[in-house]
Amino acid sequence: MINVLVTGGNGQLATCIKDVEVEYDNLNVLYADSKDLDICNLNQVQSFFKSHDIDYCVNCAAYTAVDKAEDEQELAFKVNAEGAKNLALTCEEHHVVLIHISTDFVFDGSKREPYTEEDQPNPISVYGASKLQGEIEIQNILSEYFIIRTSWLYSEHGNNFMKTMLRLAETRDEISVVADQKGTPTYAGDLAKVILEIIGKASKDFGLYHYSNQGKISWYDFSKAIFEESKINMQVNPITSEQFPVKAKRPGYSVLNKEKIRSKLNIEIPDWDLSLEKVLSKK
């Protein structure tokens, strides 16, 4: 059996891993939330690893409140950078492979073609900067790691854009959604499968990878697709980022190039609309 620790064990991605792990007979997966394991506390992390036999650590623990991070910079960096460093140090000591989830928000959005792993990060928010620092800490400490940058995660679990749209539809018949930020929605269940495939195959192709679903749309396009697929009659009005002011800047373009993960790890990548259709059919 392969023993896998998943941090952030009650979060959206971890819950999707729970859904998918039943397909893998050779995996024994342990889920730890912040009450079980505070990744910001190095002593606690080291003690946890000493008392459990772990082959892989999947780090789904993260500070993800993008706008609040502008006011809670210290906390964002503590979780996203120091927490990642603590896991990397402990994984190195115990010969554990770390799989760490990062974000498209490490980029500034100035590019107009999909970002590759070789493109220079330039975060424009505290959240993006804290996630980039986490990547750097891991790369400085470990040689056996997978860092997977993803984008616009949603699922039937947790809090996400899709569920917000469906909730708004219960009380409104018209909304306005930003149309000038382009990216790719990613079903967390698809990412969960990628993570477990890497573990199940015991891949040695370590490094930094990009993964999202296929395609390029705006938040406006995504909201319209959610309502249309759900057969909800909703008037959606396109607006600019300037018309919807928020504390943290978002990249205007954050489409990820997935060629590396497709070719090196032989990963199949569904189109975003097919995955959305699959998720909404479960509701």
Q: What are phi and psi of 231, to 5 degrees?
A: 55, 45
* Catalytic residue of the set 31, 56, 63, 127: 127
Task: Establish whether 127 is a catalytic residue.
Answer: yes
The torsion angle over the Cα atoms of residues 62, 27, 211 and 227, rounded to 10 degrees, is -80
Q: What is the DSSP string of 69-89?
A: GGT-HHHHHIIIIIHHHHHHH
Query: What is the C-alpha to C-alpha distance for residues 262 and 267, in angstroms, rounded to an integer?
Result: 5
- Beta strand 97-103 with 56-59 is parallel
Catalytic residue numbers, as ranges: 127
